[in-house]
Structure 1
Amino acid sequence: MVNGSMRTSLILLAIVGFAQSLVRVPLSRLPSVRSRLRVANQLDEFLREHQPDVFSRRYAQCYPAAQHYLRMGGKSTERLYNFMDAQFFGEISLGKPEQNFTVVFDTGSTDLWVPSSYCVSQACAMHHKFKAFESSTYTHDGRVFGIHYGSGHLLGVMAREELKVGSVMVQNQVFGEAVYEPGFSFVLAQFDGVLGMGFPQLAEELGSPVFDSMIAQGLLDEPVFSFYLNNNGSGFGGELLFGGVDETLFVPPINWAPVTQKGYWQIRLDAVKVQGALSFCYRSTKGCQAIVDTGTSLIGGPARDVLLLQQFIGATPTAVGEYLIDCVRISSLPVVSFLINNVEYSLTGEQYIRREMLNNKEICFSGFQSIDIPSPAGPVWILGDVFLSQFYSIYDRGHNRVGLAHLSGRSQIPLQITSYL
């Protein structure tokens, strides 16, 4: 028979064992590069210089014929990212002693990179830089890498290092040290680098992506991570949880959608509906494809569909491709719904309109943006943070599926973040 003291000890051990399988990373929410450019009266000029469509740039690899390549040492790379609207960031550490960096945890890419102390760009001067010579665990890789952003090429060298994410230590992690960061957007960015969380097929750097390293090194009980994004206007941005889910943050059941193509977290989107009066994707027996992307703020869709949607909600186009809404109309805007695996996810005007303050005046923007990706890869919708901040999202590599669940009442207030390890 187990006595009371032993029973208590077993319960505590069970709790500790469960807790060690979960790694929490608190997220902060800060103004985006787009917002900072707008305040500085530089947004119009920046966007004019960096068209065509920034969403098309980010997902250029979906296009059938690649036209722009960066070739170094026989390696061809093509990846066009845009983080102008990114607002959710978290902290990681590299090396021993630890060097801290703020990164975008991005399900729309796979590589990890941070600025190098040898970087010559103006953007690097504004951010934390990795000092390899100060770390006792640093290993030089010797290879070079390049990533093509909308504003130019990001160039760097590859290395291996101890990586701390939340409270877990990943050994011998491949990462990129950026020695040249392009464009004015990185100067204003509130993050130092990017930690990609897509499938290995997306990786530019040869080596295991961070999440794959965690799985391979047995650091997690489950090959799962989940996001709670808080978009209530406060600096608290929610949390990223490695190794499972936080059941206090959502209301069951979880709706699981299988990944249709490994690379991005890509799923089938059955239909997009606007107040029952407009529908997209429904004509196809295959529906549409959607990419679930924490590194993009907006919701993207085929230009023809999104233009109709903008007209239906009464959004007015600007000279730089944004769409304005009269703020007093928000409460009367139609509901926009996304049908995924026969479950409808509805967004009200309050949820899909972005509010910003400019010169003490509130301005309101549509949270929808055009993206045109031709067949066979397209059409593709991008479910960015405007969508994801309204639901709890789960990314399951063990079963190659994405889970969505409605937020619970507890998720509406800032959490007390604690570390389990």
Structure 2
Amino acid sequence: MVKWLIVLSALVAFSECFKRIPLIRGKSARRGLQEKGLWEEYRMKFPYRPMAKFIQTGSEAMTNDADLEYYGVISIGTPPQSFTIMFDTGSSNLWVPSVYCSSSACEKHNRFDPSKSSTFKWGSEPLSIQYGTGSMTGYLAVDTVEVAGITVKDQIFGVSTTEAPFMDTMKPDGILGLAFQSIASDDVTPVFSNMVQQKLVEQPLFSVYLSRDGEHGSEVLFGGVDDNHYTGQITWIPLTSATYWQIKMDRVSINGQTVACSGGCQAIIDTGTSLIVGPNQEINNMNSWVGASSNQYGEATVNCQNIGSMPEVTFTLNGHDFNVPASAYITQSYYGCTTGFGQSGGIGSGLWILGDVFIREYYSIFDMEAHYIGLAKSV
């Protein structure tokens, strides 16, 4: 009996090394606006630039959130105040709305009240982050942040005082960046970096599982890897830049023919972008190869009845092939079927984003210390 109690205690201790946070898969802002017949008007006012988050001006990181879908819950302060947060491997700052923000977007979300936290301290710098469809401004602050049961003390984060109108349509209250400190606004230490420095996780890595179907089932796991979410071997790919989670892509091919990224290019694994995004001409070529045509929103549409006969698209990353079937890159809705390949809008210098369309197919492990990404076939 004592022997079994020891084994049970060891298993409990082992499970505590890994901290999970479940993610909800919600409707993207773009889809919501389309359903209301507002997307075309909105795009004219606020041009959709999915590559904008990977351009930096000074210390201000840029991002675009028109396509966010996955979000979870964290808390800030003592006692804790809860917020729904988008976990974004394409940015590095944590910020939430504050009670000092009167923008309509703030009024539609949970707002942090510093006066209600006994551990709150104001920072010394203002914060401004430019988005592809607007911006947020505010101030830096310091408080206790709890993520997946992990309590991070003295975390610097942003409290917004203004937010762009597009945040009106977003489900998450704010964003938690999971990229490197080198691209953080005001050189703020990111939340996961603090987890590692404060020795709150077993390993300096986190992993992401995005479910293919259903609202629930997705998760971010801090400090470990869950082998229940993948099959086969993990392929480890070195980063080419420890800024974003950036890697070398050799080519994109269909039926053995190179259709994009000929001669090699750079790609970023990004949970904060729904689509696979690349240079306009190359994305047009990919869409043409799979038989897509453009609709009134500039999206590539296909006949839903053709999905079963459409080809796989192969992304070759550092010498390894990763196939994405039509069932993964085609989105079906009441309004028809569209591909998950989006144009960069003419910016980004050839950079590609492998967003949620790709990550749903491949369990993704982000090793912050070794500077590697691990990919394995999701189950």
Give yes or no for TM over 0.5.
Answer: yes
* Alignment partners' CA distance in 2, 1:110 and 1:250: 27
Give the alignment's Cα RMSD to 1 decimal.
1.6
Out of 24, 28, 44, the residue aligned to residue 24 of structure 2 is 28
Indicate the SS of the match to 1:205.
helix
* Alignment partners' CA distance in 1, 2:173 and 2:26: 13
* Alignment partners' CA distance in 2, 1:152 and 1:249: 36
Find the counterpart in structure 1 of residue 14 from structure 2. 18
Contact 1:290 1:382 in 2 (8 A): yes
Indicate the SS of the match to 1:54.
coil
Identity in percent: 36
* Alignment partners' CA distance in 1, 2:217 and 2:13: 27
The reply on whether 1:311 has 2:288 as its aligned counterpart is: yes
Deviations 1:22-57 (A, max 9, x none): 000001011010011011110001112222x51232
* Alignment partners' CA distance in 2, 1:215 and 1:363: 45
Indicate the SS of the match to 1:248.
helix
Indicate the SS of the match to 2:227.
coil
* Alignment partners' CA distance in 2, 1:9 and 1:316: 63
Deviation at 1:356, TM superposition (A): 2.1
Q: TM-score, normalised by structure 2?
A: 0.96
Runs of 4+ in 1 over 4 A off after TM superposition: none
Contact 1:289 1:378 in 2 (8 A): no
Deviation at 1:80, TM superposition (A): 2.5
Deviation at 1:12, TM superposition (A): 2.4
Find the counterpart in structure 1 of residue 313 from structure 2. 336
Contact 1:141 1:159 in 2 (8 A): yes
Indicate the SS of the match to 2:182.
helix
* Alignment partners' CA distance in 2, 1:271 and 1:405: 19
Unaligned runs of 5+ in 1: 67-75, 409-421
Aligned residue pairs total 379
Q: TM-score, normalised by structure 1?
A: 0.87
Find the counterpart in structure 2 of residue 57 from structure 1. 52
Indicate the SS of the match to 2:8.
helix
Cα gap change, 1:202 to 1:237, in 2 (>3 Å): farther
Out of 319, 344, 351, the residue aligned to residue 371 of structure 1 is 344
Where does 1:81-92 land on structure 2 (aligned, <5 Å)? 81-92=63-74
Where does 1:32-43 land on structure 2 (aligned, <5 Å)? 32-43=28-39
Contact 1:373 1:380 in 2 (8 A): no
Indicate the SS of the match to 2:365.
strand
The reply on whether 1:270 has 2:250 as its aligned counterpart is: yes
Indicate the SS of the match to 1:46.
helix
Q: Which amino acid aligns with 2:369?
A: G
Deviations 1:260-290 (A, max 9, x none): 01110001112211122343334x2xx2211
* Alignment partners' CA distance in 2, 1:237 and 1:245: 15
Q: Which amino acid aligns with 2:108?
A: M
Indicate the SS of the match to 1:55.
coil
Q: Which amino acid aligns with 1:204?
A: S
Deviation at 1:126, TM superposition (A): 0.4
Find the counterpart in structure 2 of residue 221 from structure 1. 202
Find the counterpart in structure 2 of residue 403 from structure 1. 374
Q: Which amino acid aligns with 1:187?
A: D
Find the counterpart in structure 1 of residue 40 from structure 2. 44
* Alignment partners' CA distance in 2, 1:153 and 1:336: 35
Q: Which of the two has higher C-alpha Rg?
A: 1
More off after superposition, 241-250 vs 204-213: 204-213
Contact 1:372 1:379 in 2 (8 A): no
* Alignment partners' CA distance in 2, 1:99 and 1:193: 13
Cα gap change, 1:162 to 1:227, in 2 (>3 Å): same
Cα gap change, 1:373 to 1:318, in 2 (>3 Å): closer
Where does 1:2-401 land on structure 2 (aligned, <5 Å)? 5=2, 7-51=3-47, 54-61=49-56, 76-183=58-165, 185-232=166-213, 234-282=214-262, 284=263, 287-357=264-334, 362-371=335-344, 378-401=349-372
Find the counterpart in structure 2 of residue 72 from structure 1. none
